[in-house]
Amino acid sequence: MKILIVEDDAVFAQELAAFLARWNYEVVTAQQFDAIDQEFMACSPQLVLMDINLPFCDGFYWCSRIRQNSKVPILYISSRNDDKDKIMAIAQGGDDYVEKPFQLELLKAKIEALLRRTYQYKVRERIYLTKELSFDAETCCMYYNGEELELTKSEQKIMAKLSENQPEIVTREELMTQLWNTDEYVSDGTLTTMISRLRSKLKTICGEEIIHTKKGLGYFVS
């Protein structure tokens, strides 16, 4: 999970970054305080830590700007302790508020709770194979940059099996069983053809290999 830290106190920002890195978070610290929305779009984080007192524009402004294009959770970290500020933070699209000074373990707990609420319950709905490519496990539809791709029923079944097991290898036997369980008989040769066509289709759209072969074992997506 990637976290964007928007904090103009460089020493404190680095302290936060070092702490979060120890818990295996990928951390980006904002540098362009006159273009926070652009930094957000460039790094595509899964969560934002947002100070309120910032150069140029305050955190309320940047939160509202981010909310125009994204629902990524935003956690305010601020020394302001007035209830009006906390109300404003939520009203502008913030998801939670931590008042400075705070224990880093408390911040970690808040981050984990936000990520869990935001992403854990959506895992089976939308599975991201790349930044742009995703598979909806509920509808068996695939999307590239938000646009639905045309897949045959067989291709949808294959992608469902590969996506839900990523990045683990799925054997040919498991894929054939997946198709047989839905009343579709597929021979070994037919499966090879299906995989080849689907792989070619996705590579043409994405410009990179999505379905990989592990010789003698099966297939996986990444």
pLDDT at residue 29 is higher than 90: yes
Complete DSSP assignment for the chain: -EEEEE-S-HHHHHHHHHHHHHTT-EEEE---TT-HHHHHHHH--SEEEE-SS-SSS-HHHHHHHHHTT----EEEEES---HHHHHHHHHTT--EEEESS--HHHHHHHHHHHHHHHHGGGTTTEEESSSSEEEETTTTEEEETTEEP---HHHHHHHHHHHHHTTS-B-HHHHHHHHHTTT----HHHHHHHHHHHHHHHHHHHSS--EEEETTTEEEE-
The CATH number assigned to the domain holding 105 equals 3.40.50.2300
Average pLDDT over residues 139-162: 88
Same domain, 12 and 114: yes
- Residue ending a domain, among 94, 122, 150, is 122
pLDDT at residue 76 is higher than 90: yes
Same domain, 80 and 130: no
Which pLDDT belongs to residue 90?
A: 87
27 neighbors 3 (Cβ within 8 angstroms):
yes
Average of per-residue pLDDT values in the chain: 87
Selection from 11-15, 70-74, 79-83, 121-125 with the highest mean pLDDT: 11-15
pLDDT at residue 61 is higher than 50: yes
Same domain, 117 and 146: no
Token pair, residue 45, equals 């984080």
Same domain, 7 and 55: yes
Same domain, 115 and 141: no
pTM (global) more than 0.75 = no
Q: Identify the domain containing residue 147 by its residue range.
A: 126-221
Average pLDDT over residues 98-120: 86
pLDDT at residue 101 is higher than 50: yes
The CATH number assigned to the domain holding 205 equals 1.10.10.10
Name beta bridge partners: 6.
Answer: 50
Which pLDDT belongs to residue 178?
A: 79
Same domain, 113 and 137: no
pLDDT at residue 182 is higher than 70: no
Average pLDDT over residues 93-98: 90
Q: 93 — alpha (psi -120 to 50), left (phi > 0) or beta?
A: left
Distance CA 171, CA 215 (A): 10
- The structure tokens 């939670």 sit at 96
Which pLDDT belongs to residue 184?
A: 63
Same domain, 74 and 146: no
- Residue ending a domain, among 122, 143, 169, is 122
Same domain, 48 and 93: yes
pLDDT band per the 50, 70, 90 thresholds, residue 123: very low
pLDDT band per the 50, 70, 90 thresholds, residue 198: very high
Distance CA 100, CA 80 (A): 8
By percentage, how much of the chain surpasses pLDDT 90?
34
Same domain, 106 and 152: no
Same domain, 94 and 15: yes
Same domain, 111 and 10: yes
Average pLDDT over residues 181-189: 71
Same domain, 157 and 215: yes
pLDDT at residue 126 is higher than 80: no
Instruction: Between 122 and 127, name the one with better pLDDT.
Output: 127
- Residue ending a domain, among 63, 95, 122, is 122
Average pLDDT over residues 34-54: 91
| Tally of domains within the chain | 2
